[in-house]
């Protein structure tokens, strides 16, 4: 069926397009205007904004960590709704099924789960398969596991074994890329370390965080995986950690790296309270290091829960749990840390975190390398994205929020002096075009012929919160799934992954390792087509040769 979207303002920064025009969809793809054919279906979108479906590069939506979070905080939607946040007051409102529907209502069509534990990958992929409409992918976590650390200790990182092990793990879990969380820090936690910096050594292994990240950067590049290592760096949430972020950027030596939820590393030590915005210094470094991409991890005020494999930081953060309950689960590799948290507008620290995230966006020279995220649910629930879009695009709205912050916060933030307002094209970069490019998903994030027909249509409003909370129309792979903010058709997306290839000898080596230390066969944890009853569930992203 040929579908025509007629007369909309088409925003496609990947092709420098911002103009009124028509868009044609057929067989799940965007197509050229057909000669001599009348469309089977026409949607008059005159005066409306037409964008590619949005892509979330970092959102915790599935896996054992998320499942535990839902069990620990079933009341989260109720608490959020009580504060006026757009979340249905029901425990089911942040389950898998509701996740897909709510993302689609906002015009999102692809979401990346950023922290699959290798031995829990089946559970994560099964849960991802229960999320409707949106396409998904997962990043698998390595860097604190004994197999990797043993290879690094023996100096085998320069051999092909580490490369084969990473490739096997990616294929075994059907992941789209590699995640590294506080490299070496979670392992050091087992030896009672409570802080872990870039050049500290992991006890018993004699390797540093710097060495782990460098090794993973090289391996991922050698494998040709499109997405560079997705790194959660050391010293998250600590005053003065902007030094760590800058040092990590310098340590990359020009190799590609993606640094996750960078707002949580934008903290200086200046001021009477020993805590200040380090965003200007951080952005100076990010703007300089063209090899690096980041997502922001924006904070908003209200109730949430923090979910992380950085158990070293989560163990320390349990003291601030609100409500007073938490889970720390130390396991092989990174484990799990779950701590409920409420960001308060009158809190000096929380208010500054909010300001720092916005500063990062607004001080970026190149928005193709500064991607949108809240590290859902850590900084804010994904349902609140439209509020952040409003803040980025409307200085008056930003000033209204900023003026209500504590005076001490405003004194150590540069946000009040920034007049920049993001355009619709810039918003499309950070939520569509740039994430697609980063992930190697070349068939989305844009509206050129040949792209997958993931399209979101919005009424252009001054109130951007209202505009982006409910799309007028959303097409997923050419099917109309949302009309006037309501889901009208529940479809099922695909899961994207890489399969870079490896020497089959690694299977024997990993099996021997598991037999010796766990009494288990690694095949028990491998993801197969059986996790879903849909035969076309998985799709492979090509790696560079």
Q: Which CATH number fits domain 54-439: 3.20.20.140, 1.10.1040.10, 3.50.50.60, 3.30.70.260?
A: 3.20.20.140
> In the structure encoding, which two tokens stand for residue 495, read together?
């899961």
3-state secondary structure of 264: helix
Q: How far is CA 291 from the centre of its chain?
A: 18
Give the tens place of pLDDT for each residue, 1-21. 999 999 999 999 999 999 999
Give the tens place of pLDDT for each residue, 451-477. 999 999 999 999 999 999 999 999 999
Question: Where would I find the H helices in 318-463?
Answer: 348-362, 385-393, 395-403, 407-411, 424-428, 434-439
Q: How far is CA 189 from the centre of its chain?
A: 25
Q: Which of 295, 304, 440 minimizes the C-alpha distance to 369?
A: 295
- Residue 94: per-residue pLDDT: 85
Backbone phi, psi, residue 498, to 5°: -110, 160
Residue linked to tokens 């005076």: 407
What stretches in the chain show pLDDT beneath 50? none
Q: How many CB atoms lie within 10 A of CB 492?
A: 18
Report DSSP state, residue 429. Answer: I
- Residue 89: per-residue pLDDT: 66
Residue 451 burial by Cβ neighbours in a 10 Å radius (0-12, 13-18, 19+): buried
Give the tens place of pLDDT for each residue, 148-189. 999 999 776 557 999 999 999 999 999 999 999 999 999 999
Euclidean distance between CA atoms 428 and 55, whole angstroms: 10
Q: What is the phi-psi region of residue 235: left when phi exceeds 0, alpha when psi lies from -120 to 50, beta otherwise?
A: left
- Residue 246: per-residue pLDDT: 98
Domain boundaries along the sequence of the chain: 54-439
Question: Where would I find the H helices in 440-523?
Answer: 464-469, 505-517
Helix (H), strand (E) counts: the chain: 19, 24
- Residue 529: per-residue pLDDT: 92
Report DSSP state, residue 59. Answer: B
Paired strand residues for 112:
137
- Residue 154: per-residue pLDDT: 79
């Amino acid at each position: 069926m040929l579908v025509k979207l007629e007369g909309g303002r088409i925003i496609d920064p990947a092709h420098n397009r911002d103009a009124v025009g028509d868009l044609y969809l057929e067989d799940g793809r965007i197509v050229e205007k057909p000669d001599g054919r009348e469309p089977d279906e026409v949607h008059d979108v005159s005066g409306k904004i037409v964008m590619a479906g949005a892509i979330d590069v970092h959102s915790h939506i599935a896996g054992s960590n998320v499942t535990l979070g839902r069990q620990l905080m079933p009341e989260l939607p109720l608490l959020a709704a009580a504060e006026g946040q757009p979340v249905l007051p029901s425990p089911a409102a942040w389950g898998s099924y509701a996740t897909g529907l709510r993302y689609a209502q906002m015009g999102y069509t692809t979401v990346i789960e950023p922290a699959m534990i290798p031995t829990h990958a089946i559970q994560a992929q099964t849960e991802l398969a229960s999320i409707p409409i949106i396409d998904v992918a997962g990043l698998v976590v390595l860097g604190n596991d004994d197999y990797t650390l043993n290879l690094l200790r023996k100096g085998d990182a320069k051999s092909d074994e580490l490369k084969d092990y990473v490739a096997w793990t990616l294929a075994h879990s059907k992941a789209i890329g590699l995640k590294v969380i506080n490299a070496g820090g979670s392992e050091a936690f087992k030896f009672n370390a409570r802080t872990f910096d870039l050049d500290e050594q992991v006890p018993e292994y004699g390797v540093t965080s710097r060495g782990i990240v460098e090794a993973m950067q090289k391996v991922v590049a050698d494998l040709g995986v499109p997405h560079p290592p997705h790194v959660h760096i050391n010293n998250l949430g600590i005053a003065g950690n902007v030094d760590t972020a800058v040092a990590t950027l310098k340590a990359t030596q020009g190799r590609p790296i993606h640094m996750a939820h960078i707002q949580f590393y934008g903290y200086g030590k200046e001021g009477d309270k020993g805590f200040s915005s380090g965003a200007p210094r951080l952005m100076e470094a990010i703007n300089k290091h063209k090899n690096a991409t980041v997502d922001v991890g924006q904070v908003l005020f209200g109730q949430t829960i923090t979910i992380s494999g950085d158990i070293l930081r989560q163990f320390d953060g349990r003291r601030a749990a609100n409500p007073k309950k938490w889970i720390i689960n130390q396991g092989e590799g990174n484990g799990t840390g779950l701590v409920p948290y409420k960001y308060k507008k009158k809190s000096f620290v929380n208010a500054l975190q909010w300001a720092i995230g916005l500063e990062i966006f607004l001080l970026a020279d190149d928005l193709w390398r500064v991607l949108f995220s809240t590290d859902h649910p850590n900084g804010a629930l994904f349902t609140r994205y439209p509020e952040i879009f409003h803040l980025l695009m409307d200085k008056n709205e930003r000033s209204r929020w900023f003026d209500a912050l504590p005076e001490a916060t405003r004194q150590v933030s540069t946000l009040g002096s920034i007049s920049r307002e993001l355009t619709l094209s810039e918003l499309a970069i950070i939520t569509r075009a740039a994430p697609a490019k980063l992930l190697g998903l070349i068939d989305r994030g844009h509206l050129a012929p040949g792209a997958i027909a993931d399209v979101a249509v919005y009424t252009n409003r001054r109130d951007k919160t209202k505009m982006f909370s409910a799309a007028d129309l959303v097409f997923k792979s050419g099917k109309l799934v949302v009309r006037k903010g309501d889901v009208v058709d529940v479809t099922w997306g695909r899961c994207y992954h890489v399969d870079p290839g490896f020497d089959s000898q690694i299977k024997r080596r990993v099996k021997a390792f598991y037999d010796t230390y766990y009494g288990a066969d690694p095949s028990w944890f491998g993801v197969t087509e059986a996790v879903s009853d849909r035969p076309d569930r998985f799709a492979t992203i090509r790696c560079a040769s």
